[in-house]
Amino acid sequence: MKTTKTTANVQRLPSSGEQRLRLDESALEAAKRSIEKGAVTPSYGPWREDIISLLNDALATEIVCTLRYKRHYFTAKGIASPAIADEFLVHANEETAHADMLAERIVQLGGEPDFAPTTLTDRSHADYDASLDLQAMIRANLVAERVAIEAYSQMITLIGDKDSTTRRILESILAQEQEHADELSDWLA
Ligand SMILES: [Fe+2]
Ligand SMILES: [Fe+2]
């Protein structure tokens, strides 16, 4: 039976008005043709470039967060707080892992991950920080984590069902940023 809509998964049957879940056959055929696009198929539609751009801003943020935590790790280690310094290092490594996940996804989407150092701090949502005082370091990291949480939450809402793989990656990163913020606010208390 022929249906009326070809681009969405929910299609309405003309006779009964009943909704059925059907794949868009023309998009499946198009997927067979453009193999040079790798993992990028027609369902990405017009959003691919915007998603790559959002991911690149998040990548810049993760790199700046890695640098800030590394700076704090080496500085705090020298000022009597090995436990907190060690936690800064754990966070630094987790931010690096986030950056890697984002860069990998950008490439899968056919984009170029932007690691250019000269523009990093302009593109990052969160700030670098070179505080020498432990409380100030914790506070700067908490501010940065809160910015990251807000940015990832907005990205997840914006992407919605436009790209479920990217959304799942962002959701897993967001969960870890929330853990980071929780730990930091416990230390401030
Ligand atoms: Fe992160
Ligand atoms: Fe974080």
Domain total in the chain: 2
Q: How far is the CA of 141 from the centre of ligand 2 (A)?
A: 8
* In a domain? residue 39: no
For residues 28 and 111, state if they share a domain: no
Length of the chain: 189
The domain in which residue 10 lies consists of 1-33
pLDDT tens digit sequence for 99-135: 999 999 999 999 999 999 999 999 999 999 999 999 9
CA torsion 110-116-120-125 (nearest 10°) is 0
For residues 78 and 20, state if they share a domain: no
pLDDT value, residue 188: 87
* In a domain? residue 41: no
For residues 26 and 112, state if they share a domain: no
Check the CA dihedral 178-182-188-189 and report its sign.
Answer: positive
Q: How far is the CA of 2 from the centre of ligand 1 (A)?
A: 47
> What's the CATH number where 91 sits?
1.20.1260.10
Which 8-state DSSP code applies to residue 35? G
Ligand nearest to the CA of 182: 2
Going by C-beta distance under 8 Å and a sequence separation of 6 or more, which residues neighbour residue 127? 64, 68, 121, 140, 143, 144
Residue 81: band (very low, low, confident or very high) from pLDDT cuts 50, 70, 90:
confident
For residues 26 and 64, state if they share a domain: no
Q: Which of 60, 54, 80 lies closest to 133 in space, CA to CA?
A: 80
pTM confidence score: 0.82
